[in-house]
A and B are shown apart, each in its own frame.
Chain A
Amino acid sequence: MAKYLLIESRDPFESNDTAFAYELATGLAGAGNEVTLFLVQNGVLPARNGARADGLLAVMKAGVKVLADDFSLAERGIGNARLRAGITPAPIETVVDHLEQGHKTLWH
Protein backbone atom coordinates (compact mmCIF):
# COMPACT_ATOMS: atom_id res chain seq x y z
CA MET A 1 0.00 0.00 0.00
CA ALA A 2 1.49 3.31 -1.09
CA LYS A 3 0.88 6.68 0.49
CA TYR A 4 -0.17 9.58 -1.68
CA LEU A 5 -0.63 13.29 -1.18
CA LEU A 6 -2.64 14.89 -3.96
CA ILE A 7 -2.69 18.68 -4.00
CA GLU A 8 -5.62 20.33 -5.72
CA SER A 9 -5.13 24.02 -6.47
CA ARG A 10 -8.03 24.49 -8.86
CA ASP A 11 -11.64 25.34 -8.32
CA PRO A 12 -14.04 22.82 -9.92
CA PHE A 13 -16.19 25.72 -11.10
CA GLU A 14 -13.17 27.09 -12.99
CA SER A 15 -11.57 23.89 -14.28
CA ASN A 16 -13.18 20.64 -15.39
CA ASP A 17 -9.79 18.99 -14.86
CA THR A 18 -10.49 18.83 -11.15
CA ALA A 19 -12.84 15.93 -11.89
CA PHE A 20 -9.84 13.90 -13.05
CA ALA A 21 -7.90 14.74 -9.89
CA TYR A 22 -10.86 13.73 -7.74
CA GLU A 23 -11.23 10.51 -9.74
CA LEU A 24 -7.53 9.78 -9.28
CA ALA A 25 -7.85 10.23 -5.52
CA THR A 26 -10.94 8.04 -5.40
CA GLY A 27 -9.32 5.37 -7.56
CA LEU A 28 -6.11 5.27 -5.56
CA ALA A 29 -8.05 4.95 -2.33
CA GLY A 30 -10.25 2.24 -3.86
CA ALA A 31 -7.10 0.31 -4.79
CA GLY A 32 -6.10 0.20 -1.15
CA ASN A 33 -3.68 3.11 -0.99
CA GLU A 34 -3.59 5.70 1.77
CA VAL A 35 -4.57 8.99 0.13
CA THR A 36 -4.69 12.54 1.42
CA LEU A 37 -6.14 15.37 -0.65
CA PHE A 38 -4.79 18.81 0.25
CA LEU A 39 -6.90 21.66 -1.10
CA VAL A 40 -5.04 24.91 -1.72
CA GLN A 41 -5.62 28.26 -3.47
CA ASN A 42 -8.99 28.21 -5.28
CA GLY A 43 -9.08 24.49 -4.65
CA VAL A 44 -10.53 25.28 -1.21
CA LEU A 45 -13.74 26.81 -2.60
CA PRO A 46 -15.72 23.55 -2.80
CA ALA A 47 -14.82 22.88 0.84
CA ARG A 48 -17.47 25.41 1.84
CA ASN A 49 -20.52 23.87 3.41
CA GLY A 50 -23.34 24.12 0.91
CA ALA A 51 -21.11 24.44 -2.17
CA ARG A 52 -21.98 22.08 -4.99
CA ALA A 53 -19.17 19.53 -4.73
CA ASP A 54 -20.26 16.13 -5.98
CA GLY A 55 -16.70 15.14 -6.93
CA LEU A 56 -15.26 16.13 -3.61
CA LEU A 57 -18.02 14.30 -1.76
CA ALA A 58 -17.18 11.15 -3.72
CA VAL A 59 -13.54 11.55 -2.69
CA MET A 60 -14.51 11.79 0.96
CA LYS A 61 -16.86 8.84 0.65
CA ALA A 62 -13.93 6.78 -0.75
CA GLY A 63 -12.05 7.28 2.50
CA VAL A 64 -9.63 9.96 1.36
CA LYS A 65 -8.51 12.34 4.10
CA VAL A 66 -9.34 15.87 2.92
CA LEU A 67 -7.44 18.89 4.26
CA ALA A 68 -7.79 22.57 3.32
CA ASP A 69 -4.89 25.02 3.44
CA ASP A 70 -5.55 27.43 6.30
CA PHE A 71 -3.90 30.37 4.52
CA SER A 72 -5.97 29.87 1.37
CA LEU A 73 -9.13 29.68 3.48
CA ALA A 74 -8.26 32.88 5.34
CA GLU A 75 -7.41 34.71 2.10
CA ARG A 76 -10.90 33.90 0.84
CA GLY A 77 -12.70 34.73 4.05
CA ILE A 78 -13.77 31.15 4.67
CA GLY A 79 -13.90 30.57 8.40
CA ASN A 80 -13.63 27.10 9.89
CA ALA A 81 -17.31 27.19 10.79
CA ARG A 82 -18.16 27.38 7.08
CA LEU A 83 -16.28 24.21 6.18
CA ARG A 84 -18.07 21.07 5.16
CA ALA A 85 -18.02 18.40 7.87
CA GLY A 86 -15.09 16.05 7.40
CA ILE A 87 -12.73 18.65 5.92
CA THR A 88 -10.01 19.87 8.25
CA PRO A 89 -7.97 23.10 7.99
CA ALA A 90 -4.24 22.42 7.85
CA PRO A 91 -1.04 24.45 7.56
CA ILE A 92 1.30 24.32 4.57
CA GLU A 93 3.77 22.40 6.74
CA THR A 94 1.49 19.41 6.18
CA VAL A 95 2.86 19.14 2.64
CA VAL A 96 6.42 19.19 3.98
CA ASP A 97 5.45 16.43 6.43
CA HIS A 98 4.40 14.21 3.54
CA LEU A 99 7.47 15.03 1.44
CA GLU A 100 9.74 14.21 4.37
CA GLN A 101 8.18 10.78 4.61
CA GLY A 102 8.61 10.11 0.91
CA HIS A 103 4.93 9.97 0.09
CA LYS A 104 4.09 10.29 -3.59
CA THR A 105 3.07 13.91 -3.92
CA LEU A 106 1.26 15.24 -6.96
CA TRP A 107 0.18 18.81 -7.70
CA HIS A 108 -2.79 19.72 -9.85
Chain B
Amino acid sequence: MTRKTLFLTAALGTLAAGFILSGPARAQASVAQALSAGAAGEQSDGYLGVTGSASPAVRAEVEAINIKRRAAYTDLAAKRGVTVADVAAATGCQTLASRVKPGQVYRIGTGPWQTKGNDPIALPAYCATAGQ
Protein backbone atom coordinates (compact mmCIF):
# COMPACT_ATOMS: atom_id res chain seq x y z
CA MET B 1 0.00 0.00 0.00
CA THR B 2 1.35 3.39 -0.93
CA ARG B 3 1.26 6.38 1.31
CA LYS B 4 -1.40 7.99 -0.84
CA THR B 5 -3.84 5.07 -0.56
CA LEU B 6 -3.23 4.92 3.16
CA PHE B 7 -4.11 8.58 3.48
CA LEU B 8 -7.19 8.11 1.34
CA THR B 9 -8.34 5.13 3.39
CA ALA B 10 -7.87 7.07 6.61
CA ALA B 11 -9.81 10.04 5.23
CA LEU B 12 -12.67 7.82 4.07
CA GLY B 13 -12.67 6.05 7.42
CA THR B 14 -12.96 9.31 9.31
CA LEU B 15 -15.80 10.41 7.07
CA ALA B 16 -17.64 7.12 7.56
CA ALA B 17 -17.12 7.29 11.33
CA GLY B 18 -18.55 10.80 11.30
CA PHE B 19 -21.68 9.58 9.57
CA ILE B 20 -22.08 6.62 11.88
CA LEU B 21 -21.63 8.77 14.98
CA SER B 22 -24.02 11.49 13.86
CA GLY B 23 -26.64 8.90 12.82
CA PRO B 24 -27.96 7.61 16.16
CA ALA B 25 -28.30 11.05 17.73
CA ARG B 26 -30.48 12.27 14.88
CA ALA B 27 -32.45 9.03 14.74
CA GLN B 28 -33.12 9.19 18.46
CA ALA B 29 -34.44 12.74 18.32
CA SER B 30 -37.12 12.05 15.75
CA VAL B 31 -38.00 8.59 17.04
CA ALA B 32 -38.40 10.14 20.48
CA GLN B 33 -40.79 12.67 18.91
CA ALA B 34 -42.63 9.88 17.12
CA LEU B 35 -42.95 8.01 20.43
CA SER B 36 -44.56 10.98 22.17
CA ALA B 37 -46.77 11.64 19.13
CA GLY B 38 -47.99 8.03 19.09
CA ALA B 39 -46.52 7.43 15.63
CA ALA B 40 -44.17 4.78 16.99
CA GLY B 41 -44.24 2.56 20.03
CA GLU B 42 -42.72 -0.38 21.86
CA GLN B 43 -43.94 -3.90 21.12
CA SER B 44 -44.00 -6.94 23.37
CA ASP B 45 -41.72 -8.70 20.88
CA GLY B 46 -38.85 -6.40 21.90
CA TYR B 47 -38.86 -4.22 18.83
CA LEU B 48 -40.17 -0.78 17.96
CA GLY B 49 -43.19 -0.56 15.71
CA VAL B 50 -44.79 2.23 13.73
CA THR B 51 -48.45 3.17 13.56
CA GLY B 52 -50.27 4.40 10.47
CA SER B 53 -49.30 8.02 11.10
CA ALA B 54 -45.51 7.50 11.01
CA SER B 55 -43.57 9.36 8.31
CA PRO B 56 -41.23 7.50 5.95
CA ALA B 57 -38.26 9.05 7.79
CA VAL B 58 -39.49 7.74 11.14
CA ARG B 59 -40.15 4.33 9.61
CA ALA B 60 -36.59 4.18 8.29
CA GLU B 61 -35.14 5.18 11.66
CA VAL B 62 -37.28 2.68 13.52
CA GLU B 63 -36.09 -0.01 11.14
CA ALA B 64 -32.46 1.00 11.70
CA ILE B 65 -32.91 0.84 15.49
CA ASN B 66 -34.57 -2.56 15.21
CA ILE B 67 -31.66 -3.92 13.20
CA LYS B 68 -29.28 -2.80 15.96
CA ARG B 69 -31.56 -4.22 18.62
CA ARG B 70 -31.59 -7.55 16.82
CA ALA B 71 -27.78 -7.51 16.78
CA ALA B 72 -27.69 -6.84 20.53
CA TYR B 73 -30.29 -9.56 21.19
CA THR B 74 -28.33 -12.00 19.05
CA ASP B 75 -25.15 -11.36 21.09
CA LEU B 76 -26.91 -11.88 24.40
CA ALA B 77 -28.76 -14.96 23.12
CA ALA B 78 -25.46 -16.54 22.10
CA LYS B 79 -23.97 -15.79 25.54
CA ARG B 80 -26.92 -17.30 27.39
CA GLY B 81 -27.60 -20.17 25.01
CA VAL B 82 -31.19 -19.13 24.33
CA THR B 83 -33.01 -18.02 21.21
CA VAL B 84 -32.96 -14.47 19.89
CA ALA B 85 -36.76 -14.41 20.22
CA ASP B 86 -36.50 -15.22 23.95
CA VAL B 87 -34.06 -12.35 24.59
CA ALA B 88 -36.25 -10.05 22.50
CA ALA B 89 -39.38 -11.10 24.40
CA ALA B 90 -37.66 -10.58 27.76
CA THR B 91 -36.59 -7.10 26.64
CA GLY B 92 -40.13 -6.44 25.47
CA CYS B 93 -41.36 -7.23 28.99
CA GLN B 94 -38.92 -4.65 30.36
CA THR B 95 -39.74 -1.89 27.88
CA LEU B 96 -43.49 -2.33 28.42
CA ALA B 97 -43.08 -2.57 32.20
CA SER B 98 -40.85 0.43 32.74
CA ARG B 99 -40.12 2.52 29.64
CA VAL B 100 -43.46 3.23 27.98
CA LYS B 101 -44.85 6.42 29.49
CA PRO B 102 -48.51 7.36 29.91
CA GLY B 103 -49.84 8.70 26.61
CA GLN B 104 -47.41 6.65 24.53
CA VAL B 105 -48.62 3.73 22.46
CA TYR B 106 -47.62 0.08 22.74
CA ARG B 107 -48.64 -3.21 21.26
CA ILE B 108 -48.82 -6.74 22.68
CA GLY B 109 -48.27 -9.51 20.17
CA THR B 110 -50.16 -8.80 16.99
CA GLY B 111 -52.88 -6.97 18.89
CA PRO B 112 -54.00 -3.39 18.30
CA TRP B 113 -51.96 -0.35 19.30
CA GLN B 114 -53.05 0.83 22.73
CA THR B 115 -52.35 4.04 24.57
CA LYS B 116 -50.84 3.65 28.00
CA GLY B 117 -52.88 5.19 30.78
CA ASN B 118 -51.73 5.79 34.34
CA ASP B 119 -52.01 2.11 35.26
CA PRO B 120 -49.17 -0.31 34.50
CA ILE B 121 -49.53 -2.21 31.24
CA ALA B 122 -51.05 -5.68 31.59
CA LEU B 123 -48.05 -7.75 30.51
CA PRO B 124 -48.19 -11.12 28.78
CA ALA B 125 -48.12 -14.05 31.25
CA TYR B 126 -44.60 -15.11 30.24
CA CYS B 127 -43.20 -11.82 31.57
CA ALA B 128 -44.05 -12.99 35.11
CA THR B 129 -41.97 -10.78 37.40
CA ALA B 130 -40.83 -8.18 34.88
CA GLY B 131 -42.49 -5.29 36.70
CA GLN B 132 -41.03 -6.09 40.11
Note whether A and B form a binding pair.
Answer: no
Binding site for A on B (CB under 8 A): none
